[in-house]
Structure 1
């Protein structure tokens, strides 16, 4: 019987590359963003608030990242009928808002990225650009 498993995690360089790519994408679109990166269990690895982004969007970006990591799916994949219940049950720690994507490489969940301060479409575009920068799965 084995009591251990093999697992993978983002390196510090991987987290920095995600953050840099998200900042670059947000700058290119002219929409300052809040960016949160979490590991597979939802523990925060990086947090950055671009000058001009909305302060309260830090909380929604964190919830988006944690939701994506927890579900191993985009944060907006939460069914409409469950979105308010999820937010209430987790005291705002999870959300069905658009802008959170899982970080997967070769199908293995490494974490989640949450972006907030633009429209849902802008938030997700920035998240996708960050994932592309490290060669993560874009499904």
Structure 2
């Protein structure tokens, strides 16, 4: 019987590559963003608010990242009938807003990324650019 297991996790270099790619993608789109990257337990590894982004979007980006890490799926896939109840029950820590994606490598869930301050499509495009920077699995 084994009492320990080996876990995969994002490296500092991986987190920085994701953050850099996300900032570049947001800059190229002309929409400043708030970007948050969390590990598999929801602990913030990186958080960046671009100049000109909405300051409250930092809160929603954090909720998106934590939700994606928790459910292992894009945030917008939460069932519509449950979105409001989950947000209320968790004090806003769970969200069904578009822009949160899980970070997977080799099928292993490593964490989540949340992006906010643009439209849902803009947010998700920036998040996907960050995943591509580390060769993460397609969602």
The structure 1 segments of at least 4 consecutive aligned residues displaced by more than 2 Å after TM superposition are none
Q: Given the two structures, how large is their TM-score scaled by the length of structure 1?
A: 0.99
Cα drift, residue 6 of structure 1 = 1.2
In 2, Cα distance between the equivalents of 1:92 and 1:9? 26
Structure 2 unpaired stretches of 5+? none
Q: 1:99 — aligned with what?
A: 99
Which whole-Å CA distance do the structure 2 matches of 1:45 and 1:86 have between them?
A: 24
Give the match for residue 87 of structure 1. 87
Alpha-carbon shift at residue 138 of structure 1 (Å): 1.5
> C-alpha root-mean-square deviation of aligned residues, in Å?
0.5
Matches within 5 A, 1:58-137: 58-137=58-137
CA distance in structure 1 between the aligned counterparts of 2:41 and 2:57, rounded to whole angstroms = 21
How many pairs were matched up?
139
What's the offset of the Cα at 1:13? Answer: 0.3
- TM-score scaled by length of structure 2: 0.99
Question: What is the alpha-carbon distance in structure 2 between the residues aligned to residue 138 and residue 62 of structure 1?
Answer: 21
- State the alpha-carbon separation in 2 of the partners of residues 121 and 97 from structure 1: 10
Give me the whole-angstrom Cα distance separating, in 2, the residues matched to 1:97 and 1:70: 14
Structure 1 unpaired stretches of 5+: none
